[in-house]
Amino acid sequence: MASRTLAVYQKDGTLRNLATAVLSCHPITTLPDDDRSFFKAAADTDYIVATRETIFHPQGGGQPSDTGSIKSSSPGSDIQFDVKSVRKLPKDRILHQGTFTSPAESSSGIFSEGQTIVQAIDDEKRNFHSRLHTAGHLLGLAVRQLAESSIPELGRVTEGKAQHTPGSAAVEYSGLIAGEHKKAIQDQANELVKQGLPVNVFWWDEKTTRSQCTAVPAEMAVPEEGVFRVVEVEGVGSYPCGGTHLPSTRDVGGIVVKKISRSKGVSRISYDITDAA
């Protein structure tokens, strides 16, 4: 339905506004079933808008969707679209789901193809998601550092999925992590916060990604462009990752390990962030 959208949030995570243009705008009820299945919580009255570029991070990689608005920048037009959620579909299609606050019944109340618009994302929400997400990487790196220093048994676990949803953030490991290591892991992660290390983004080919990254998922899909986005905590470690991060580890604030649970051979480190370490 829509053409591919340039994922500007992956190039510059600091942007909160972006002027671009509409690729397509349709009632959600006209989406093919496969595409509609990405928007389970949507109402039939919602619309789907695709734009040439986007600063909205779609739900994925454990990070929730951004929310915000898309407003017409055409002279004399006050059309506004409230973005409730964003999904990335196959073939680099990024779709914004939401409602027009302008009357959608009139044809002038919705976007037309090629219309110039300005995107704005919810700044507070993005910052919080980026902090939670970066904290997840720091916990992963803290476990590795401890494995190489004071707690060698942590060298036997393998990093798995991560979830950066507010209130239920966690990093998972295959293998067992004893609950008694909770404080050591928390302290080590907060040490990385205090060091104020730069968080860098690189674009690497598959060979470099597999050989240089600290951990690579067992099944890593090769992007259509063949280039992987990699996030590095400078001097500590790197992961392939498509999410949004912070410029410095210090910006995380503080990390609290809530608990370490173990089930069916998988350990789960649940965590939260606080304003200061």
Q: Which is nearer to Zn ion, 35 or 232 (CB)?
A: 232
Q: 3-state DSSP call for residue 141?
A: helix
State the Cα–Cα distance between residues 27 and 45, nearest whole angstrom. Answer: 7
Residue 143, both tokens? 């476990």
State the Cα–Cα distance between residues 32 and 166, nearest whole angstrom. Answer: 31
Q: Which helix (H) or strand (E) holds 170?
A: strand 170-174
Q: Which is nearer to Zn ion, 64 or 243 (CB)?
A: 243
- Sequence-ordered list of residues with C-beta below 8 angstroms from that of 72, at least 6 positions apart, any chain: 78, 79, 80, 111, 115, 116, 117
Residue 140 binds to Zn ion (criterion: CB under 5 A)? no
Shortest distance in whole angstroms from residue 162 CB to Zn ion? 8
Mark 221-250 with x for binding to Zn ion (rule: CB under 5 A) and - for no binding: ----------x---------x-x-------
Shortest distance in whole angstroms from residue 180 CB to Zn ion? 28
C-beta separation of 255 from 190 below 8 A: yes
Shortest distance in whole angstroms from residue 131 CB to Zn ion? 12
Distance in angstroms between the alpha carbons of the first and the last residue of the chain:
47
- Scanning residues 189 to 208, which ones bind Zn ion (CB under 5 A)? none
Q: Which is nearer to Zn ion, 38 or 239 (CB)?
A: 239
State the Cα–Cα distance between residues 203 and 115, nearest whole angstrom. Answer: 31
Shortest distance in whole angstroms from residue 61 CB to Zn ion? 7
State the Cα–Cα distance between residues 134 and 151, nearest whole angstrom. Answer: 23
Shortest distance in whole angstroms from residue 229 CB to Zn ion? 9
Q: Is 193 left (phi over 0), alpha (psi -120 to 50) or beta?
A: alpha
C-beta separation of 206 from 222 below 8 A: yes
Shortest distance in whole angstroms from residue 241 CB to Zn ion? 3
Q: Which is nearer to Zn ion, 68 or 242 (CB)?
A: 242
Among candidates 5, 2, 24, 17, which has minimal Cα distance to 111? 24
Q: Which is nearer to Zn ion, 135 or 241 (CB)?
A: 241
With contacts defined by CB under 5 A, how many residues of the chain interact with Zn ion? 3
Q: Which is nearer to Zn ion, 2 or 241 (CB)?
A: 241
Q: By beta-carbon distance, which residue lies closest to Zn ion? A: 241
Q: Which is nearer to Zn ion, 141 or 151 (CB)?
A: 141
Shortest distance in whole angstroms from residue 275 CB to Zn ion? 21
By CB under 5 A, name the binding residues for Zn ion: 231, 241, 243
